């Protein structure tokens, strides 16, 4: 347990927004018994996204089999998959009149395929009900299982996202059950075997150096990752890893300039950027 939390800079604070639109989104989610990462991970952009009729759906429950030390989602024994969830997600996407749907999940190492088939079913149901909607998936690493990755690829998401989260040197303290090289290979495999846009995201403020971030950019250029997001890590509670540094807005601009000069096509770097923040806007840049 960490005993103190650094004061949040003003540029990272978000006011509470409650409008008819946000109420509508919450009602549709509650009516369909759906989880969102917006709520589970205490995303600072939740209200802004809700006002735009956008939500990132969290499938396969809200209990994770991994214990990443930056994440607010509960690590506990997960529940059985809900076979009705894919259709409910698709209906919610239609009811919310979305143009772009983001689907993510807890990590389900208890399942043989890591939940890949469930992801696939959600994509198929959305495309079947609203074929004009673009779908982005943000998946766990499926322990590097290529058959599982293929299952998701065959469902043809428009963007396949898998987050590196942080630099290699911090994996042991931040995400001890993950492997940096495995996540890189995951993204590379998607690019080599499909024409799907690949995407990844990182947090800053955990103690990484600028030089380490540049090395990650080099790795991402090598595997031709299309979209990279970077945002500030914000400590969810005293039980989570402390913030070592709050990056100033100008530092994100500097990092974005470096990444683009190195060959990364599309960057979205800012203090409040999260994996799916303004994902539709990022996709339209492609």
Mean pLDDT by 10 residues, the chain (286 residues): 60 61 66 56 54 73 72 74 94 88 89 96 97 94 96 97 96 92 98 97 96 98 96 83 93 97 93 75 64
* Phi/psi of residue 269, nearest 5 degrees: -115, 125
Q: Give the architecture (CATH level 2) of 10-284.
A: Alpha-Beta Barrel (3.20)
The domain locations on the chain are 10-284
Q: Angle, to 10 degrees, between the axis of helix 180-193 and the axis of helix 146-154?
A: 40
2: left (phi over 0), alpha (psi -120 to 50) or beta: beta
């Amino acid at each position: 347990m960490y005993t103190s939390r650094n004061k949040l800079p003003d540029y990272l604070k978000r006011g509470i927004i409650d409008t008819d639109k946000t109420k509508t989104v919450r009602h549709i989610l509650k009516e369909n018994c759906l989880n969102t990462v917006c709520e589970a991970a205490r995303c600072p952009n939740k209200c802004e996204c809700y006002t735009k009729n956008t939500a990132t759906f969290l499938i396969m429950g809200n209990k994770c089999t991994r214990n990443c030390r930056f994440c607010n989602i509960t690590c506990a024994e997960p529940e059985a998959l809900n076979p009705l969830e894919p259709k409910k997600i698709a209906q919610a996407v239609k009811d919310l009149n979305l143009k772009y749907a983001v689907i993510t999940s807890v990590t389900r190492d208890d399942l043989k395929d890591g939940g890949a088939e469930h992801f696939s079913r959600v994509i198929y149901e959305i495309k079947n009900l609203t074929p004009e909607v673009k779908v982005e998936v943000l998946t766990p690493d499926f322990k590097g299982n290529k058959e599982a990755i293929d299952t998701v690829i065959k469902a043809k998401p428009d963007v396949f996202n898998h987050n590196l989260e942080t630099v290699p040197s911090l994996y042991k303290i931040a995400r001890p059950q993950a492997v940096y090289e495995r996540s890189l290979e995951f993204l590379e495999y998607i690019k080599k075997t499909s024409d799907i846009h690949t995407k990844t995201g990182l947090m800053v403020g955990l103690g990484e150096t600028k030089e380490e971030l540049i090395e990650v950019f080099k790795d991402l250029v090598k595997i031709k990752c299309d979209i990279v997001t970077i945002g500030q890590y914000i400590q969810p509670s005293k039980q989570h890893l402390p913030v070592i540094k709050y990056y100033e807005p100008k530092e994100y601009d500097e990092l974005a300039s470096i990444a683009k000069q190195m060959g990364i096509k599309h960057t979205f770097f800012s203090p409040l950027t999260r994996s799916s923040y303004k994902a539709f806007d990022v996709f339209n840049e492609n």
